[in-house]
Structure 1
Amino acid sequence: MGAVPEPHAGWTFLTNHARVLAAIADDPSIRIRDIAAHCRLTERAVQRIIADLEDAGYLSHTRQGRSNTYRIEPSSPLRHPAEAGLTVATLLAVLAQHDEQRDKRPRPWSPVAGLEQGAESGTH
């Protein structure tokens, strides 16, 4: 069993349930261990969150050998009254757009950029 991730102090914009759902949306056959690492949660916490999401009808799974394949119900409405009319699909679309934008942002420095600059100038 892996190490317990460091806890996060303070509040965040996304709940752990949203983070787990987004990780599953990215890879429906993702392992609980990998969700836990990605979301910085314990495996047990991820198991509880998945159970919550399944109990509420947001998620289901199919067992394939020793693995699970998850299916998200995209038309499920978000739970809070302030998000009335919004669905899981809307939330996941916003999160996917964020990921695309994050991937396109220029990095202040990257190992690859550093190597390219060194190669151009003749230094190694």
Structure 2
Amino acid sequence: MAQWTFLTNHAHVLLCVAANPEIRLKDIATLVGVTERAALRIVGELEAEGYLSRERVGRRNVYRLNPDRPLRHPLDKGHHIGELLEAFAAEPVDPDGAA
């Protein structure tokens, strides 16, 4: 049986960044279940379309989401990512698994 989920990897990346704006790309990849290269591609696509921005602070990136950007599928017309983020809001993500 093939595995599938209701949310895309792009949505999962947004949720990781929402939970921890200073998250490392390596940790995004681990949490989403993709390679670091795929995580970098997804972050780049989200940045290119204005869904997030990143600022270099020292050796780390700090991400900012634009919650007013629309969802991209025609069936989701009129909704924005802020609604998705609010619906799936979680405690900050600790990639090491500590509570």
Structure number, greater radius of gyration? 1
What TM-score, normalized by structure 2, do the two folds share? 0.86
**Separation in 2 of the partners of 1:30 and 1:10?**
26
Give the Å deviation of 1:12. 1.6
2:40 to 44, 47, 58: 47
71, 79, 98: which is aligned to 1:78? 71
Secondary structure at 1:61 match in 2: strand
Structure 2 Cα separation of the partners of residues 91 and 60 of structure 1: 18
Equivalent of 1:95 in 88, 93, 97: 88
Secondary structure of 1:53's aligned partner:
helix
Q: TM-score, normalised by structure 1?
A: 0.69
- How many Å apart are 1:71 and its aligned residue? 0.5
| Structure ranking higher in helix proportion | 1
Structure 2 stretches lacking a partner, 5+ long: 92-99
Q: CA deviation at 1:95?
A: 1.1
Q: Higher relative CO (CA 8 A, sep ≥ 6), structure 1 or 2?
A: 2
Q: CA deviation at 1:10?
A: 3.2
- The aligned residue for residue 12 of structure 1 is 5
Q: Quote the RMSD (CA, aligned, Å).
A: 1.2
Structure 1: 5+ residue runs without aligned partners?
1-8, 101-124
**Paired residue secondary structure (1:70):** strand
Q: Does 1:61 align with 2:61?
A: no
AA aligned opposite 2:85: L
